[in-house]
Structure 1
Amino acid sequence: MPRQFFVGGNFKMNPNSVAEKIALTTLLNKAELDDSVVVAPPALYLIPLKEILRKEIQVAAQNCYFKDSGAFTGEISPAQLKDAGIPYVILGHSERRTLFHETSEIVAQKTKAALAGSLSVILCIGETLEQRETDQTAQVCAAQLQAVVDLLSEADWSKIVIAYEPVWAIGTGKVASAAQAQATHADIRAFLGTAVSPAVAQATRIIYGGSVNKGNCKELSTQPDVDGFLVGGASLKPEFVDIINATRK
């Protein structure tokens, strides 16, 4: 079975007003969209956005904790997200790893907890510029995934989308070339085939994130192991619709 193209929009700590949120929602509700679409607004807007978006567009949290309840001020649990009808959560984003010091082991714990809470996970991995320049990309991605592999069963992977996001390309305007993205995605798929199973490797969607925009999405989308995108800044602009429809002939 071919893997269905998947596009996520990570709004990060945007938009800054309800008016902007409404304008963005109106754009998405009116657009002709070809593929699976998930958008991740700030936690404050999760439920309101879910209520006004058309049903074909799903909503994701940008993070969650690995406990279902307790004295964890400022956190959101998988159980709370599930109860609120939020089907997806983004975990392991490089900004969480770098700014908030989340290790691969913590990301793995969160992933296990999210899956146990019946959430689907967009699992982010990726290397720094220094690691890219010293040919460590494959090893870094494998190590970040291995922490998750160690905690999950083979069946768990049916609810995971892997987002390869080279840290050096996030918000910088720099983009991995189509060949670079394809090579890394192929390496990730090969790792899954060895570490989990060939069936999981074939079925798991691996999407690319890192300054994806209207100008580069078409070429990236033609790569055999690029199954979609996780879009940052461009997801807040009208061009997000063009990125979603990158596979349209």
Structure 2
Amino acid sequence: MRAPLIAGNWKMNGSKRDAQLLLGGVTAGAASLQGVEVAVCPPFPYLALGEAELADGVVRLGAQDVSAESAGAYTGEVAAAMLAEFGCRYVICGHSERREYHAESDTLIARKLQSVIASGMRPILCIGETLEQRECGETEAVIAAQLDGVLQVAGIEVFAALDIAYEPVWAIGTGKTATPEQAQQVHAFVRARIAASDQRIAQALRILYGGSMKPGNAAELLAQPDIDGGLIGGASLDADDFLAICRAAEAAAG
């Protein structure tokens, strides 16, 4: 049984005060949850707040990005070992915004995954297609290329140590959401693609949905057999909305 994971990606939002209130609200509300893992990924400057607020609690701390390098003259970068020192358990790698705005390649993302795993944390690998690619019928080809890019660099075993988030780029921040059937189809394709290399790893692999999951659609999405949680953007900035999604995951886990 794959325990669902609901991870909040705050992106570049909020003030220090906002972060304190949001962390407190999520921590209090998540205390009674059973059978679901919860994580929040605040901006780098607020990781210390997360470390203090979430210590010994049920909510895990995550980071939004990481350097592929372990140390050195890389101004503005943050090494995996540094994130681990702040108690991070999860690190988002390859988010579509990093791929688009920072031209991150599959090879670079694979190196980031390896760095995170070597530092004792668990990566959340983001994959997904643009609207143009979907409309051209290229969704599966795009997803396959993103997965194969990691396989070629890091090998199949890396998928035993990470979670995947399918994030249709056309559904991020747009208010649009893939239908449960559309999302399930891609999630099933991802699992089958990994199963072609290792059936055991594929069956244990947790695949999250990352395209505008909200309280109103979470239950239907999470009811799909290959959707194992969510990487939540906008709804993670409101404690009540985020916790409602967590409770939907708890109910789906049954």
The 2-side partners of 1:23 and 1:112 are apart by: 33
How far has the Cα of 1:158 moved from its partner? 2.4
The 2-side partners of 1:144 and 1:156 are apart by: 14
For residue 150 of structure 2, give the secondary structure of its aligned residue in structure 1.
helix
Aligned residue in 2 for 1:145: 147
Matches within 5 A, 1:1-249: 2-15=1-14, 17-31=15-29, 32-34=32-34, 35-53=36-54, 55-194=57-196, 196-237=197-238, 238-247=240-249, 248=251
Segments of structure 2 that go 5 or more residues without pairing to the other structure are none
The 2-side partners of 1:154 and 1:18 are apart by: 40
Higher alpha-carbon deviation: 216-225 or 18-27? 18-27
How far has the Cα of 1:151 moved from its partner? 2.3
How far has the Cα of 1:23 moved from its partner? 1.6
Higher alpha-carbon deviation: 74-83 or 180-189? 74-83
How far has the Cα of 1:210 moved from its partner? 0.9
For residue 208 of structure 2, give the secondary structure of its aligned residue in structure 1.
strand
How far has the Cα of 1:153 moved from its partner? 4.0
How far has the Cα of 1:33 moved from its partner? 2.6
Matching residue's letter, 1:134: C
The Cα RMSD (Å) is 1.3
The 2-side partners of 1:109 and 1:38 are apart by: 23
For residue 140 of structure 1, give the secondary structure of its aligned residue in structure 2.
helix
* Identity score, percent: 43
The 2-side partners of 1:152 and 1:107 are apart by: 10
The 1-side partners of 2:219 and 2:119 are apart by: 35
Segments of structure 1 that go 5 or more residues without pairing to the other structure are none
The 2-side partners of 1:47 and 1:145 are apart by: 33
TM (norm. structure 1) is 0.95
TM (norm. structure 2) is 0.93
**8 Å contact 2:66–2:80 — kept in the other structure?**
yes
Aligned residues: 246
Deviations 1:125-177 (A, max 9, x none): 00000111111111111111111111224443222000000000000000000
